[in-house]
Amino acid sequence: MTLSNEREKMLRGEWYDANFDEGLCEERRVAERACYDFNQTAPGSREQMEALRQILGTEIPTGVTVLAPVYFDYGGERTQLGEGTFVNHGAYFMDGGGITIGRNVFIGPFCGFYTASHPLAFAKRNEGLEKALPIQVGDNCWFGANVTVLPGVTIGSGCVIAAGSVVTKDIPENSVAAGVPAVVKSKIKQEGETI
């Protein structure tokens, strides 16, 4: 598989041809096939773990659990899952811009991490252009069900993002954030916090 100039633009966070560049299309097809294999095999089986290794392009970090179905646009070096991370059913990682998930992160069902955006003007959008910006999540975060995280967002360690929230801006560490768009509702005192 040849790497394209469009891939280089994607990695630099510039506008690139996501829809018609054959190199990027092939990378997504490879990831889609690996996701299909993962999603179609018995939970926890050797075949499923091998498919997850294919998706991530590396050994699975210690304590990582991913439940099917799961979807990655590229996988490989584009998404990194930290040790002890749990990914519930139906997660989607639109990872062209890169997604870094810290250690011991709980990702609820049907969460989506979306690094790509498109031009507002339809003529440019119809040319297949998009821009991908990285998403970074610190350690020990919890995402409730159906959380959406948009391009370029950084979420600090120790955060709780309430179910159904849409995270459009950075969230500082040890915050409870909720809403559409998500805003910080309170701070978490990690030491001495009650259940």
Quick one: which of 172, 95, 104 has its CA closest to 143?
104
Q: How many helices (H) and strands (E) does the chain have?
A: 4, 19
State the catalytic residue, choosing from 118, 146, 168, 183.
Answer: 118
Q: Which of 74, 169, 5 is nearest to 184 (CA)?
A: 169
Whole-number Å distance between alpha carbons of 166 and 148: 5
Is 89 catalytic? The answer is no
Angle between the N-to-C axes of helices 22-40 and 46-56, in degrees from 0 to 180, rounded to the nearest 10: 160
Q: Hunting for tokens 């097809």 — which residue is that?
A: 29
**Omega within 30 of 0 (cis) for the link into 109:** no
Active site residues: 118
